[in-house]
Amino acid sequence: MKQFLLFLTLGLSITFHVHAQDIILKKGIIHEALPVNDSIEESFAVYLPTTFQPVGKWPVLFIFDMEGRGKQALRMFKPVAEEYGYIMAAPNHISDTISLSKNILIANRTLNAVFSILPIHKNRVYGAGFDDGGEFASILPSFVRGIEGIISSGATIGNIELLNPKNAFHYVGIMGKQDYNYPNALELKKILHRMKFPNQLILFEGGHTWPKLEEIKKAFEILDLAAMAKGNIEKDSSRVQKSLETNLQDVEDLLAKEKYILADHLLGQILSVYRTHLNTDSLKEKKRFLKKQKAFRTQKRNEINILFKESLLKEDYIYFLYEDVVSYNYNNLGWWNYQMDEIKKFKKSSNIEEQNMGARLFDLANLLVEENIEAIEGEKIIDEEGLLFLWMLKTITDPKDYPYYLKVISNSAKHEEFGTALFYLEELLKNGYTNKAALYALENTALLRITPEYNEVIAKYLKEARYEPIEE
């Protein structure tokens, strides 16, 4: 049946006649589950800005969350999409548990569904995502034509080998300096530059988290300015000038705080974004002047040294983790404990770059362990010994991640290794665990939890135990 749009009297809602049913969409509201088509049980979330009208052509941002949380993903971008007048959509059925090809087909069906019912500007179609959602978004243009740009946060390109300079898209990365992906993001920028992909990297002082609205807004601004440069939208000279002034003020603020590397990076970004709009000779001179300053050269040399040291430590983590898991090398848990102590020292260092490295290495170590756990749990025949080693290691890499202690205690009690179970019970309680009920309901511990030793440890840290020790 032919699809059409019908505006209600007040213009606050739109009725879509889609797939033999009327669907009313309110502007300014995230709608959670619109059907993709009649034959497939797939849906997508959608957001229309309050300025939306059925005339003209509108930019659209497709956001990808690999757990299929379309509404939640749109919510992160909603305030900026509203300000910049973007339609947003997100498929609800992509997942990191299914194949890449299936995810691409699901994403493509969502794109087609949105194009079929909304007036989309064909040269202003963008993708976005955080973490593995950002990686997925970055490879989608290699399979789906017409995607102009990508906003990838906390991630890099999913697969560099898929990039084709003949099908270049605008890549905008958003990355915290404490994100474990930060070194990879710096390297990716060089690769994209060599391949002549237009790209910018927005940096902020933080870790592997969703960026703040300020960083998301900068990404939207970059894409809009690129659209002006290409003639896809009318150039607004006053907006360009105001945007430049805001960025230059950010540079001055960074210089005042003696954050010379970030200031230099931002200046480079300004040059790449505004050179098609304005004369940038003065900016080039400002960047050259900054690079000659002793304070900048000192900070840059320090960062280079830190990144090199980090790369060596990263190689050690990857190598020894593989060796330890395949050989069940419990003796090397002490080495890992030493490494985590070193990371703690980095995080407390007076050197800001060492602090950042410490935060990155902490997250990286935990990510590597968690990925190995997921890999073993996904096998048809589970390597229980390897899994136990990784659970033990996880209590070292992140002592506050309590479920792994419980797994070790349960597994050890199952095999009547009560000494190991009691050791991890005490370590768990030392690190602040307080759920006594869970300790007395833990699987495989029926015999262990009535022993005097088990109850003595609980009484020591939680004041009283469920069972009184039996005196001989």
- Rounded to an integer, the average pLDDT of 107-121 is 93
Interval 172-194: pLDDT, tens: 999 999 999 999 999 999 999 99
Interval 409-457: pLDDT, tens: 999 999 999 999 999 999 999 999 999 999 999 999 999 999 999 999 9
The tally of CA atoms less than 13 A away on the side-chain side of residue 429 is 21
Percent of the chain residues past pLDDT 90, beyond the cut:
84
pLDDT for the residue numbered 149:
97
pLDDT for the residue numbered 97:
87
pLDDT for the residue numbered 70:
81
Alpha-carbon gap, residue 426 to 403, rounded angstroms:
14
pLDDT for the residue numbered 12:
62
3-state secondary structure string across the chain: CCCCEEECCCCCEEEEEECCEEEEEECCCEEEEEECCCCCCCEEEEECCCCCCCCCCEEEEEEECCCCCHHHHHHHHHHHHHHHCCEEEEECCCCCCCCHHHHHHHHHHHHHHHHHHCCEEEEEEEEEEECHHHHHHHHHHHCCCCCCEEEEECCCCCCHHHCCHHHCCEEEEEEECCCCCHHHHHHHHHHHHHCCCCEEEEEECCCCCCCCHHHHHHHHHHHHHHHHHHCCCCCCHHHHHHHHHHHHHHHHHHHHCCCHHHHHHHHHHHHHHHCCCCCCHHHHHHHHHHHHCHHHHHHHHHHHHHHHHHHHHHHHHHHHHHHHHHHCCHHHHHHHHHHHHHHHHHHCCCCHHHHHHHHHHHHHHHHHHHHHHHHHHCCCCCCHHHHHHHHHHHHHHCCCCCHHHHHHHHHHHHCCCHHHHHHHHHHHHHCCCCCHHHHCCCCCCCCHHHCHHHHHHHHHHHCCCCCCCCCC
Tokens 């090199």, residue located: 308
Contact 62, 104 (CB under 8 A): no
> Inter-axis angle of helices 418-430 and 452-462, to 10 degrees?
0
pLDDT for the residue numbered 54:
86
Residues 6+ apart with CB under 8 A from 436: 458, 462, 466
What CA–CA distances, in Å, run from 292 to 256, 258, 285, 295? 17, 15, 11, 9
Instruction: Please choose, from the candidates 89, 19, 7, the residue with its C-alpha nearest in 3D space to the C-alpha of residue 47.
Output: 89
* Amino acid in position 316: D
pLDDT for the residue numbered 1:
33
Tokens 């299929």, residue located: 68
Across all residues in the chain, what is the average pLDDT?
91
pLDDT for the residue numbered 39:
77
Interval 260-316: pLDDT, tens: 999 999 999 999 999 999 999 999 999 999 999 999 999 999 999 999 999 999 999
Under the banding of pLDDT at 50, 70 and 90, the label for residue 15 is low
Interval 315-374: pLDDT, tens: 999 999 999 999 999 999 999 999 999 999 999 999 999 999 999 999 999 999 999 999
Instruction: Please choose, from the candidates 179, 190, 201, 181, the residue with its C-alpha nearest in 3D space to the C-alpha of residue 261.
Output: 201
Token pair for 267: 């200046």
